[in-house]
Homo-oligomer: A and B are copies of this chain.
Amino acid sequence: MASRQADLSITRCASIWCEVARQAPRVQCLTNTVAQPITANLLLAAGARVSMATHPAEIAAMARGADAVLINLGTLDAAREAAVPLILAAMALAQQPLILDPVFVELSPVRLALARSIVARGPVIVRGNPSEVAALRAAVTPAQAMGSVWAVTGAVDAITDGVRTAHVANGHPWMTAVTGLGCAAGALVAACAAVEPDRLAAATTALLALGIAGERAAAFADGPGSFAVRLIDMLARLDAATFLDRARLS
């Protein structure tokens, strides 16, 4: 594990970040309607491509051809609920990375059951806030949890694969005042995982990029409205030099 551990450097993450724009992976996002616009805009700013199909009649085809797949459980509805097993079946044949955002699983038994079924299929990358991730980890067996990467975002993000743990200290308090930014973080994790097989490194790269863009955006913003706009600008302008200069990884 030592050599892989050493790989989790800022330099390595900056390189993964640049790969996203170079390869322009398509991320199929089954995500909530609140976060869809900012999620799509941040994926485009990163240089990725986006599809947001939800219909059971087309979701398998849209997932199978994608380079990574995000399942976000926000604004769950019957179509999204039906889409989850279809995505899992389609991806059993393909081998793209799968990212799960367990929005509000601590409040909704329906969402918790869906999230469990996705983790049980593992390995996945889970991106959530502390209460969501705690509720989900308590609902799966340790063996199921161990197969996946768990990214808990907050003032300092903590990302672990059960062996290695990374901490990302970049970010800004306004990030919790903009709806959908956490959800968009999951989509950026998917974009990075599409170009990088080391899932811990991919998740860490995405959270570093978003955090750095947030810090830079705050310098040009007067509140959470202008902050969200500038964040898109700054993510689109985030190059390797800025990434290397600003990343706070431990």
- Most B-side CB within 10 Å, residue of A109, A226, A234: A226
Complex: chain B residue closest to A41, CB-CB:
B179
Report the bound CA distance from A179 to B45 in whole Å.
10
A38 within 8 A of B: yes
Binary contact track A32-74/B, C-beta < 8 Å → 1, others 0: 1111111011001100001111110110011001000000001
Q: Looking at the complex, which one of B36, B74, B107 makes contact with A33 (CB distance below 8 Å)?
A: B36
> Shortest CB–CB separation between residue A139 and chain B, in angstroms?
16
A178 x B44 contact (CB < 8 A):
yes
User: Is A104 a contact partner of B51 (Cβ separation < 8 A)?
Assistant: yes
Whether B229 lies near A226 (C-beta < 8 A) is: yes
In whole angstroms, what is the CA distance A81 to B179 when docked?
25
CB pair B228–A224 under 8 Å, yes or no, is no
Q: How far is the CA of A34 from the CA of B41 in the complex (A)?
A: 10
Report the minimal beta-carbon distance from A102 to chain B, rounded to whole angstroms: 13
Whether B107 contacts A51 by the Cβ 8 Å rule is: yes
In the assembled complex, which residues on chain B have CB atoms less than 8 Å from the CB atom of A58? 76, 107-111
Number of residues from A at the complex interface, CB < 8 A: 56
B108 touches A81 (CB 8 A): no
A75-B53, A76-B58, A110-B57 are contacts. A179–B44 as well, Cβ < 8 Å? Answer: yes
- Residue A223 at the chain B interface, CB threshold 8 Å: yes
- Complex Cα–Cα for A128 and B35 (A): 24
A134: which B residues are within 8 A, CB to CB? none
A44 in contact with B224 given A37-B180, A57-B110 (CB within 8 Å): yes
Task: Indicate which residue in B38, B65, B107, B236 contacts A177 across the interface (CB closer than 8 Å).
Answer: B236
CA distance A232 to B54 in the complex (A): 28
Q: Whole-angstrom distance between the alpha carbons of A234 and B223 in the complex?
A: 7
What per-residue 1/0 map shows which CB atoms of A146-188 lie under 8 Å from chain B?
Answer: 0000000000000000000000000000001111100000000
CA distance A225 to B179 in the complex (A): 15
Nearest Cβ on chain B to A32's Cβ, whole angstroms: 7
A76 to B61 alpha-carbon distance, docked (Å): 13
